[in-house]
Structure 1
Amino acid sequence: MPRQAPIPIAAARSHKPHNQQKPSPGKENLVTGKPLSHVTPIINKRRERPCDACRRRKSRCVINEGRKLCVLCEFHKQECTFVQSPLPRKRKVVDDGNKDSPNNQKKRSVETEPPPLALTTPTITAIAPSPPPPQRSLSNQHAVQLGETLGLQSRQHSRYIGLSSPFDSLLIGLSHFDTRNESTFDLGTLRRVNDHECFIMLPDENTQDYAEEAETLRHVEQLVHPHGPALLDLYFQIVHPNFPIIQKHLFVERYRTGDRTFSPCLMAGMYILALNWWSFDPKLAAHPKPDATKLEAVAMKSLSLAMERPKLSTIQAGLLLLQRPEADSWSLTTQLVAIGQELGLHLDCSSWSIPLWERGLRKRIAWALYMQDKWSSLIHGRPSHIFSANWAVKPITEDDFLEEDDGYEHRQEETEEERAENRRGQELFAQMIGLTMIMAEVMDTFYTQTAIQDFANAGKNSTSLILSRAKNVQLKLRKWHEELPKTVKMSANTNGKLSSTGYLHLAYFATEITLHRRIVQSLDPSTHDPYGFFMCRSAAKTRLISAMDFVNRLKPEHLQAFWYFASKINFTLIGTFGSLLWATAPTQEEAEFYKTRLREYRWTLSVSSKRAQFLDYAVQMLDASRAMLHNLAEKPSLAQQISNAGVPPSAPARSAPPSSAMGPPERQQSSDAELQDHSDLKRTESSGSFHGFRNEALEQYLGQAGSVTGSASGTRTAEGSVRGDVTPRSQ
């Protein structure tokens, strides 16, 4: 292509004698921390200035003893030159004629340069309202060096080397490591991140269809053109605050300055999620909506290819694609867990020699992957793939959300409202992690094959065994709920904006229901203590009512916000639990009560689905459950049950439910525990705050682990029950 008159770069500088030249401050762009090797490198003796490639990278030019090339040039297998013309190596350069013009002075890094897209370079309107001045090029800024990250390099990927692999850690320690903590050999490049963990870096070009990645990204952009920037705005406004698995500032600045080395499946995933709020932008609503089906097809194909060269962007893309309500999460989740382990996401990266911001990003992605695995395990009823014995990731902290020191000085100032929204989203993400850990304990305690066999072996004592194991996890759930920050409570002021706190509280109810579901499944009225049988079912009834009332209180700003992928099933689990209580109800009156509540719940979901379409699935599952209940045998009335079995013995005066609690299904005739919960709900509606539901009668019944409650004067025993003392909870 024709070139404009070249700018005499060499003549623009005054040269000092070599013995007077000193390295400019800030030129080094190395990883913070001491190198793990004690070998001292030999600084370039030929010329006391960096080679052309190192100057472009703003990196130290280091030549090890006995080598002709500097470390970086040898690593990238490129020519190490000291001429002062830019890009002396022969390689494909687009727009070469304008490269040296004053209006376009961007010197492209060997590490991050792809062919530019055919589309114009837009700016992300809500994030970066104006483009940078023309004279500020990437090379003149303190641009991020992705080559110094572990999981985000553009032309190579990392794979974790475990202790039992053929790469023995002692043998690795004998290798020669440079100042980048890297050692090159025939199979690849070893990179140590601390004294214990090591990765092997492999080139992307050896993987399938790597050369087509730039074309795939171009295709993704064309499918949404010219609305890509506006869709990214929607993503960062609605999705990202509540699911912060992307380094926002780094992404935005790279996009704004024209960098187009992003993963195609990641970009497609961001666009696909943002399309759910297409109508929220008046400018977008006036145009035809891009075809999400085509985007998904390109995204899934690109993701399968990206798995051969795994990077953090691969996990990010997979997690975003799994947030689609229609996504089949199980098989893809298992693949992402394996890739995460290959990237070392299950390890503690707190002391690794990688950029500080990458450590925080890795922790956020790791915990997002953990939640994806655990909630997929619950909603599919299948074994989890992440075990606590091999999970070393530290708890998330406020510092893990920092965006500083990513190499970009340009920074959009946030308003106080935006900062508050970001803090709320970070708190929401952190609280969801804490709840997921409790939910995982529920699954490990009650739903593993070992636990199922334990309960089966217990026979008539299975309920007592389940109750004894349920006590600790129930206390953890209550403590978690009581300590929720005000910013993520349902009563928090939304200021007329979308709020995703609903998915957190729905997950809480799903966890409670999963626990009580196991108790109800074990109950047998023919063998269990009648009072204990009643108290367990009363507690389950309370949980169902509280969950249904929570759904009734959801507002449009909740329904139209971002919902976590498991929410669709969590809404369904409420209906499933109601159907279970209906099917196991001992009397016709109680069965009618649940039938009525389920009919009301279905109506609520069908109305709410106008604002949240994914609720249609919950409605369909409710209908399926009702169809199964058509085969339910007719139940005896309460009068028949009393005449056949006699009136149950009286319970302690304080916690005894009235006999009408098992009577007609009207809401006024409920147990003391239920009435207590409804009074809590009334106080909630009047005060504007929600503090959760309790069942003090059940807590008294549980007493010590595995015990059943006693009467006012002694201890009650029955076939299949365990003798024990009553330990009421302190008020």
Structure 2
Amino acid sequence: MPNNTKKSSQRRRFKVPSEFGQARQSRSRKNRPCDACRKRKTACVITSTPPCLFCKGRGIECKSSASDSVASGSALSASLFASAPAPQDATQDGPSSNSESPRIALNNIRPSSHSDSIEVIPAPCLQTLEDNENRTAHSMGPAAEQDTHFLASFRSDVLSGPNQIDAEFIQVYKGSEYPWDPPVHFCLLQDEFTAHDNIAREEASRAIEELVEPHGPTLIRLYFRHIHPVLPVLSKVRFLRQYTDDKTKLPASLRGAVYALASVFWKSEPSLQGSLHFQQHELADLATGSLQRELDSPNLAKLQASLLLLHMTPNRTDSIAHPRTWTSTAQAVAAAQMIGLHQDSEKWNLPSWEKRLRRKLWWATYMTDVWSAVCHGNPPHIYATSFNTSPVTMDDLRSEESIPEDLRSLVYSSNVGFDVASGARFLELVKISQTLREVIDCSLWLSHISRLAPPDSQKMEMKNRGRLVSLQGELHNWVTILPQCLTMPHLEGAISIISNNAPLHLAYYAHLALLYRALMNPATKVAKAMPSSSLRLWFGTALSDFASFTDFMSELNPENLRCFWGCHARSQLILCGNFIIYLFVLATESGDVTSAFSLLESFHDTLQRLNRQVDSISQLLLLPVSLRIDSFFTQAADRLRGGPVADSTTTTTSTLVAAPISLMNNP
């Protein structure tokens, strides 16, 4: 009886003979599904021979294990892209070292000791959010279409048909028990575009390559010599590997941006003969047009293109920052947020190289946002509570910078390895941008007190002014405590392009001008006449600190100006030039008037000298500030005389030295 009871309690097993490797319709019992579809409990459709439609769309191996026994759903992750321990840096630091590195890897999951008779199918693990062919990963934030905690326990795909998956929700971080540390999911979307979109992309790609032929590799070398040391947004090895294997796999916008930026430096290389048969704007137009279509599926490469396309040579007709700088920056910020760069990826199940690149690109986007906002006097798009990305480090900048032997033909010998000075320069610019962001926050709030008049406005004003004073103390000795590799004397004599520190110093002085403007606010007639006003209290310190700016400018030579400065340098020069005018006009003591005019005159002389010495491209950097300084020298004297504005810049020193009080009284 006990034996019969035991037998009856056992479930009878029925085995249906099945095969794998032939055409298979959904729900077929004769032909086995592949392991991936069986685990997912989704339709496994094989049109003729493997792979099935699902595995083919993801580029993973389509196979069926010998045994029909599959681990239960509780033993494996509910998702194809199961969360796994983060890859070790030592093994994941360089995906670009092999040209055919797999996009999907399998985790070997060992069954528990009490179930050795059960075969456990390895669960595929997402190894990158980037290199999934024809699929783009979009960030899913707190306000996404589904709650992130719910997605962690129940996941479903978005189907457009019985056998077609349009989108999957994948988990890259399982979160913790704390409510402020939720799971992180991405929507892995199938990239499908209309025929005319695909044709337009292909035409843009072909047109760009035809335009630069046969100079593409040379332009790549020029880019990594002149642009990359100042703006290291590319992953050097990754880009060069993709360019070598199949450059058309890189977005046309990114190739066009790299070619266009490098083309300006063609004449700077003595070894290059002749001239290019195209203009920079031709490449930039093609790349920009292509980018608008490519951003339908944003990724890291397209964000890189967005950031680089901001830095094209300005038009000679532009005397202020072009509005496109601001709108294009907004587009870049949106793309960065779309792919989740505003979230800290340190604990995510991603390879080390990708986490490092994501951090570097986020902070490059952050800097771009801050300085583009300054160009137009707007509040930045990125605010303190909108991101939690960890700080970028020197190791992040060092990643993917040492070129392997087989790629060295695409760079000059001086650019084969990582340059520590370039990394230090980027990190220092990030710090300056962060403090500038604080200055903007404090000064914006102060300027709106009278309109908003909150109950605690006086308390908040004191808090913000205290923070501004603290920032001034932190930056007071900035030049003297810089590493030797970032100082301006490093540029004297035989100047190396890779040691272009002048843009960093200009950014510092522009930041200093804005800081003192915030500290001295409001710059009114009443404040000028009141000895206890912030304007009067900070005037002497501002005048003394900003004297080093004119020293910096006087050290510049034509070779410095031929280097890459970036699109924000013109606005930074305008801020500095206008601040000298600001000091001159607001001076009250005769000694301050003389000192401020001395700065103004020195700066004016430097601009005139450089304009005589440099080429037409370099003059574009100086043009907007030169127009303003020249106009001031002309109009200040004319306003004093009470006559119409003159066309000539001729005036006398004695007239202008007496100008400040009259100019304030006759705006």
Distance 1:80 1:559, change over 3 A: closer
CA distance in structure 2 between the aligned counterparts of 1:433 and 1:481, rounded to whole angstroms: 16
Number of residue-to-residue matches in the alignment: 526
One-letter amino acid of the counterpart of residue 267, structure 2: S
Segment drifting more, 528-537 vs 343-352? 528-537
Relative distance call for 1:409 and 1:584 in structure 2 (3 A) is closer
Matched, 1:286 2:285: no
Q: What residue number does 1:156 align with?
A: 135
Which residue identity lines up with residue 360 of structure 2 in the other structure?
R
Matching residue within 363, 369, 374 for 1:367: 363
Q: 1:385 aligns with which of 370, 381, 384?
A: 381
Secondary structure, in 3 states, of the residue corresponding to 2:346? coil
Alignment match, 1:74: 54
Within the candidate set 230, 237, 259, 2:225 is matched to: 237
Give the 3 Å change call, closer, same or farther, for CA 548–82 of structure 1 in structure 2.
Answer: closer
Alignment check: 8 A CA contact 2:140 2:187 kept? yes
Instruction: Determine if the alignment matches structure 1 residue 439 to structure 2 residue 452.
Output: no
Equivalent residue number for residue 391 of structure 2: 395
Residue 672 of structure 1 corresponds to: none
Aligned partner letter, 2:475 = L
Amino acid at match of 1:623: D
Match of 2:476 in 1: 478
Match of 1:640 in 2: none
Deviation at 1:338, TM superposition (A): 1.4
| Aligned partner (choices 100, 111, 115) of residue 143 of structure 1 | 100
Shift of 1:574: 1.6
**Which of 201, 209, 222 is equivalent to 1:221?**
209
In structure 2, the CA distance between the partners of 1:322 and 1:344, relative to structure 1 (3 Å rule), is: same
1:1-53 Cα distance to aligned partner (Å, 9 max, x none) = xxxxxxxxxxxxxxxxxxxxxxxxxxxxxxxxxxxxxxxxxxxx9679xxxxx
Cα distance in structure 2, aligned partners of 1:584 and 1:461: 28
What is the alpha-carbon distance in structure 1 between the residues aligned to residue 421 and residue 534 of structure 2? 42
Spell out, residue by residue over 1:217-261, the C-alpha distance to the aligned partner (whole angstroms, 9 max, x if none): 111111111111111100011111221111111111222234421
Q: Please give the alpha-carbon distance, in whole angstroms, between the structure 2 residues aligned to 1:164 and 1:461.
A: 34
Partner of 1:201: 188
1:617 aligns with 2:624: yes
Task: Spell out, residue by residue over 1:675-727, the C-alpha distance to the aligned partner (whole angstroms, 9 max, x if none).
Answer: xxxxxxxxxxxxxxxxxxxxxxxxxxxxxxxxxxxxxxxxxxxxxxxxxxxxx
Cα offset, 1:531, TM superposition: 9.9
Q: How many Å apart are 1:288 and its aligned residue?
A: 3.4
Q: Which amino acid aligns with 1:441?
A: E
- CA drift of 1:444 comes to 0.8
Q: Is the Cα–Cα contact under 8 Å of residues 329 and 369 in structure 2 kept in the other structure?
A: yes
Question: Displacement of 1:68 after TM fit?
Answer: 3.4
Superposed, which structure 2 residues align to 1:2-151 within 5 Å? Answer: 62=36, 64-65=38-39, 68=44, 73-77=53-57, 143-145=100-102, 148-151=127-130
Could you tell me which of 329, 333, 336 is aligned with 1:333?
329
Give me the CA root mean square deviation: 4.2
Q: Match of 2:346?
A: 350
* C-alpha contact 2:425 2:501 (8 A) present in aligned 1: yes
Residues in 1 aligned to 2:657 and 2:552: alpha-carbon distance in whole angstroms: 20
| Other-structure match for 2:121 | none
User: Equivalent residue of 1:157, what SS?
Assistant: strand
Structure 1 146/409 Cα, relative in aligned 2: closer, same or farther at 3 Å?
Answer: farther
Give me the identity figure in percent: 24
Give me the whole-angstrom Cα distance separating, in 1, the residues matched to 2:344 and 2:379.
Answer: 24
Question: Does the Cα contact within 8 Å between 2:96 and 2:241 map onto a contact in 1?
Answer: no
2:426 corresponds to 1:429: yes
**Amino acid across the alignment from 1:191:** I
Aligned counterparts of 1:151 and 1:82: Cα–Cα separation in 2: 21
2:389 & 2:404 partners in 1: Cα distance?
Answer: 28
CA contact 1:576–1:625 (8 Å) conserved in 2: no
In structure 1, runs of 5+ residues without a counterpart are: 1-44, 49-59, 84-137, 179-183, 636-662, 667-731
Higher helix share: 2
For 1:312, the equivalent position in structure 2 comes to 300
Residues 1:160 and 1:588: Cα distance change in structure 2 (over 3 Å): same
- Residue matched to 1:561: 563
Match of 2:550 among 548, 553, 559: 548
Contact 1:438-1:476 within 8 A present in 2 as well: no
Structure 2 unpaired stretches of 5+: 1-17, 22-33, 64-94, 105-126, 158-162, 175-182, 315-321, 643-654, 659-667
Matched residue type, 1:579: I
Deviations 1:326-369 (A, max 9, x none): 26311111121112111111110112222221111111110000
Distance 2:61 2:583 in 1: 77
Q: Which amino acid aligns with 2:419?
A: N
Q: 1:150 offset after TM fit, Å?
A: 1.2
Report the more deviating stretch, 486-495 or 328-337.
Answer: 486-495
1:522 paired residue number: 522
Residue pair 2:36, 2:62 contacting (<8 A) in 1 also: no
Q: Which residue of 2 aligns with 1:585?
A: 587
Aligned counterpart, 1:677 = none
Residues 494-534 of structure 1 deviation map (CA, whole Å, 9 limit, x = unaligned): 75312321111111111111111234442545652269865
The superposition leaves residues 365-408 of structure 1 with CA deviations (integer Å, 9 ceiling, x where unpaired) of 10000000011112211011101112211111122134459999
Amino acid at match of 2:213: H
> CA–CA distance in 1 between the matches of 2:490 and 2:283?
36
Distance 1:225 1:318, change over 3 A: same
C-alpha separation in 2, matches of 1:462 and 1:163: 30
